[in-house]
Each structure stands twice: as structure tokens, then as C-alpha cells.
A and B are shown apart, each in its own frame.
Chain A
């Protein structure tokens, strides 16, 4: 396995909140690397560090090194536009630019050189074909990109990203806004593209990670829990927390011995309540708690682990509520 991106001791902060803790990992070349983990675990932050998009977030700061092709991306004195150009980004929600389909693709190449009309036509055609959109739009290249369906827009974004000739494709939950058919379409394109590109995909869809990934990085509360080849991590995770996360997503039937609904409670009270509930249980028994305070989602498991309990599942049930399963 040849490494393409080398992440060394990266810490990221949003103000006082530490989003990434001492992340050190290698991302292999021309393979699909999936970053998995529950929401708020730092997946997107890590991705944003790679292309320095984190610079645009207020109050964010990053330390450590990320070496790509011998250059430290996090070095403040390098030209950040070169870094970003090397890495195409496929966003969570397709974000076509306010221009025609043709101009969306041409926008990037125009920034980095001045191809002639004929050359540009070729570029546009080439990348629309690669992203599998050409046949659908070849007769209406001049029509606005906003008239495309969401799925088509996402493939347009893929083509647009590829048109600046990156080596790396970063995907931030690229199918979460798409319907199943469009999602499949994107996944197929990504599988085709990995022969020529290093692909890093952030996803909280374990099934998607299993379908696509050659290599897996599991983040949890900003820490690197486990990384390794996909089949090893999925079939035989070394870490209990990885197992818990994968199991949680599969909702394996755990025998819940006690349950506590701590919705509406603020930190640190829900932590105290959870501790009391655990106190009444015997060792090895399992407690499930429901919380809706975002702080609790990160802090309760952390505290529980510090107390020597085992956190089995942290799972988002709906927009506000989280389920945390703890074994005493």
C-alpha cells in the first residue's frame, strides 16, 4: 500500500472545542478510504483540514502536519489555491454555481489557465462523460445548472471538481441528499474513478462504506479509534468502540437491562442521572439512555469511559435525540 496523504498529529479546534485529537494516519493512494463515525466525531473536520477549507470557518485552528506529495498542506505560507486544486470536493448537498451547465465545468479550468474555445469544449465533454452526465445534458449545455435534478447536479459537481485535474477526490457524505438511484449512480462513478484518483469519503452510512471502501478510518469524538483495511475493520475490528459503532448501525439486539430517558436534561445533570442509573445495576448489565442535549452526546460517553464503563452504541435516532448504550 502506497501512502498518498500522510496525516501527522493533527489537532483541530473550534474556539475552545477540540474537534480532532492527535490524528495520525496514512491515506493510501488510488484507493477509496472511508472515514466513518457518528455525527460530530470530526469526520468532516478532518476532510476540511485536507483541503484547508477549515480556514474559512470562524475561530477554527489546526496544528500538526498533512503531507501531500511532499508538501505540508497545513503550512500557512503555501498557496492554498494549489492545495485545493489538487483535491476535488464533492459536497453533502450539490452546489452548482449560478451559471450554465457548460460554464459550471469551465469555471475551474478558466481559473487555472486560459484554454481556447475548442479545447474547453473538449474538457467539458470529457468530464461530463466521466461523471456519466454527458448523454443527459449534451443538447442543453447552455441551459442553467439549477434546472438539473438533484442527482444530476451532484454528478455535475463531480465533473466540475474533476475538471481542474485533481489527484484526490474528497467526498463529504456525497449521497446523503440524494435518492437511492442517484446515490447508486454516484457510487458507481466513484468506484470507476479509483483507478486514477485517491478517494476519501466521509460517510455515516456503514453500508456505503462497506460497498466502496478499501481502507477505513474510524473516528469517535475526535479521536482516531481504528484504521485499517476495510475487510479487517468491518469483519474483525480490533477496538470495542468500532464494533459498537458498526453494531449500533446494524441495530443488533442488545439485551437492555435498564433504560433512562434524559431528554430535556442539560449537561452535567444527565451525566449524573446516568451515573445513578448505572449505580443501581450489576456489573456487566446494560443501560440505554436517550439524550437530546448535543453536549451530552460527546461528553456522557467520554465521562462513562473515563469511569471505566464500556460505551457500546452512540446512535442518532432522529434530528434531536441520541441513544447511548453503556455497559457497566
Chain B
């Protein structure tokens, strides 16, 4: 009888937790769509803000959409180039078991938990020192640093999951460590690596605090890496901060666009990773 009660209590707990998760997710999406969808228009994603846009007049947020895409893709590519060798080097075939690796992991975990405003402030000081102004380049670099801990640690974990037998198979065929890493380990870990990249992209495109000082904000599209750029999270922030209901609704529309970008990318990457991973050993 006791066991039955335990079972029941736990079942109720699970249902309640799942309810909270699904419910809050649904509410976030519902509120954004409810408030944003009516204001969403073609001009919103094809035009930059015209004069008086923030007072409720003509224009769109193309500047922020493009800015965010530039920032996110630029930083994800840069972070990927740095993260992959770093994650591989943290494996036990390389330095994984050393004390150094332990401290690297520890500091990455600390950095992962560090609020992004700290990254923004850090980037700002460094840029002041070098006499740079807020720019696309500055934003990309700070976002890259922001993404590194996420990407390295999640990649490291998925690469670690590659079964030892696969590496052994490759080694017995006379493969070197490098050939084994790129010929076998990477193939097996590919879906996980995809996920790590998407995770980092999500954090990069959604972060407002780190780009506030480093990328700045502008109503025009950037013409070079050294121009300031707008970004979607800041667009949401600024529009929501105006006293005009019409502009506030556009903030929700901007949030909706942000949501759609992340959603599209998740779906595409899922599709791609499924395509690439039919050979994975389970």
C-alpha cells in the first residue's frame, strides 16, 4: 500500500512539473504572438527605421534583423573555429587527464555562468583601450567570447561520449590520432556538435547586454566591420521602452521575428544532422 502511495505522489509530481514546463513555454509563445503578430508586416522586415519610427511612424527593423544575423553568424563561426580544437584537446587522448585540463574546465564552467553584462563591460573597456568604437567587429568578438564556454563544454561532452571501441577500431587499422579524431570521432559526434553550435547561436543572437556597449545601435545597415550595428534584443528593449502602444506592439513583433529565426535554424539543423547521421553507431 505504501509503495502505491509513493508511486502516486511521484506521478503527480511529474505531471505537475511537466505542466509547468509546457505551460510556461506555451504562455511565452502565446503572449509574443498575441501581441506581436498583428503588427508584423512586410515593411517591418524589409525596411530600416524611417524618421519618427519610434513615435509610431513608417519603417521597419531590417537594421536589427541583419545586425543580429551578422553578429550571430559571425560569432558562431569564429567560436566554432576556436571551440573544436579546444574541445578535442580536452579529450583524454590529448591533455584531458592533466591538471591543466581540470582548471580549464573549471574556468569555462565559471565563464558559462557569468552574466553577459560582465562580458559587455569587459569588451567595452578593452575597446576603449584600443580606441575602438562600438562596431560589428567588437560585437562579434565579445559574443564569440560569450559563446566559447557553452560551445567548448558541450562539444567536449558529446565527443567524450564516442565509444572507445570506435577509436580502437581506427587505431588497429593503423590510423594516427589525428586521422582517428577527424575520420571517426567527429563523424560519430556530429549530431552533438550541431546541437552545441545551435545552443551557442541561440545565446549569441538572444543576448542584449553584451552587445549594448560593444556593437552599439544604429538605424542604418552596417557597411563595414567597423560600423556600429543594431540587434534584435536591443530593438525589443528600445521599442518596449517608448510610451506609445503602437511601438510597444512592434517590440513584440520583433521578439516574434527573433523567435522565428531561432526556430528556423533549429529545424534546419535538425534536418541536416539527421541527414548526416544515418551512419552513427548507437
Indicate, yes or no, whether A interacts with B: yes
Q: What's the A-B contact tally at a CB cutoff of 8 Å?
A: 79
Taking CB as reference atom, which chain B residue is nearest A87? B172
Do the beta carbons of B281 and A96 come within 8 Å of each other?
A: yes
Proximity string of chain B (265-282) to chain A, C-beta cutoff 8 Å, 1 when within and 0 when not: 000000000000011111
Do the beta carbons of B168 and A56 come within 8 Å of each other?
A: yes
Q: Report if A251 contacts B (CB, 8 A).
A: no
Do the beta carbons of A81 and B187 come within 8 Å of each other?
A: no
Least Cβ distance of B151 to chain A in Å? 22
Q: Which residues 162-221 in B have Cβ within 8 Å of A in the complex?
A: 163, 165-176, 179, 183-184, 187-188
Do the beta carbons of A98 and B172 come within 8 Å of each other?
A: no
Chain A residues with a Cβ closer than 8 Å to the other chain, count: 31
CA of A17 to CA of B171 in the docked complex: distance in angstroms?
A: 25
Proximity string of chain A (42-68) to chain B, C-beta cutoff 8 Å, 1 when within and 0 when not: 000000000101001010000000000
CA of A58 to CA of B173 in the docked complex: distance in angstroms?
A: 21
Q: Report if A234 contacts B (CB, 8 A).
A: no
Given contacts A98-B184, A98-B187, A98-B279, contact A53 B174 (CB under 8 A): no
Q: Report if A189 contacts B (CB, 8 A).
A: no
Given contacts A96-B281, A99-B187, A107-B183, contact A81 B170 (CB under 8 A): no
Least Cβ distance of A68 to chain B in Å? 14
The interface residues of chain A lying within 8 Å CB-to-CB of B280 are: 98, 146
Chain A interface (Cβ within 8 Å of chain B)? 51, 53, 56, 58, 81-82, 84-85, 87-89, 91, 93, 95-100, 103, 107-108, 111-112, 144-146, 157, 160-161, 164
Given contacts A91-B165, A97-B166, contact A51 B172 (CB under 8 A): yes
Taking CB as reference atom, which chain A residue is nearest B278? A144
The interface residues of chain B lying within 8 Å CB-to-CB of A157 are: 169
CA of A108 to CA of B183 in the docked complex: distance in angstroms?
A: 11
Taking CB as reference atom, which chain B residue is nearest A86? B174
CA of A51 to CA of B174 in the docked complex: distance in angstroms?
A: 10
Q: How large, as a class, is the contact surface on chain B?
A: 20 to 34
Extra contacts besides A97-B183, A98-B188, A157-B169 (6): CB < 8 Å:
A53-B171, A84-B172, A88-B172, A97-B166, A97-B184, A107-B183
Do the beta carbons of B173 and A146 come within 8 Å of each other?
A: no
Cβ contact of A146, chosen from B97, B165, B174, B282, cutoff 8 A: B282
Given contacts A96-B281, A111-B179, contact A84 B168 (CB under 8 A): no
Do the beta carbons of A81 and B168 come within 8 Å of each other?
A: no
Least Cβ distance of A228 to chain B in Å? 29
Least Cβ distance of B133 to chain A in Å? 48
The interface residues of chain A lying within 8 Å CB-to-CB of B187 are: 97-99
Least Cβ distance of B180 to chain A in Å? 10
Given contacts A95-B165, A97-B184, A99-B187, contact A161 B172 (CB under 8 A): yes
Taking CB as reference atom, which chain B residue is nearest A84? B174
Do the beta carbons of A81 and B175 come within 8 Å of each other?
A: yes
Do the beta carbons of B171 and A84 come within 8 Å of each other?
A: yes
Do the beta carbons of A161 and B166 come within 8 Å of each other?
A: no
CA of A84 to CA of B92 in the docked complex: distance in angstroms?
A: 21
CA of A99 to CA of B187 in the docked complex: distance in angstroms?
A: 8
Do the beta carbons of A99 and B279 come within 8 Å of each other?
A: yes
The interface residues of chain A lying within 8 Å CB-to-CB of B176 are: 81
CA of A85 to CA of B164 in the docked complex: distance in angstroms?
A: 19
Cβ contact of A111, chosen from B166, B175, B282, cutoff 8 A: B175
Least Cβ distance of B61 to chain A in Å? 43
Least Cβ distance of B94 to chain A in Å? 13
Proximity string of chain B (235-266) to chain A, C-beta cutoff 8 Å, 1 when within and 0 when not: 00000000000000000000000000000000
CA of A97 to CA of B173 in the docked complex: distance in angstroms?
A: 11
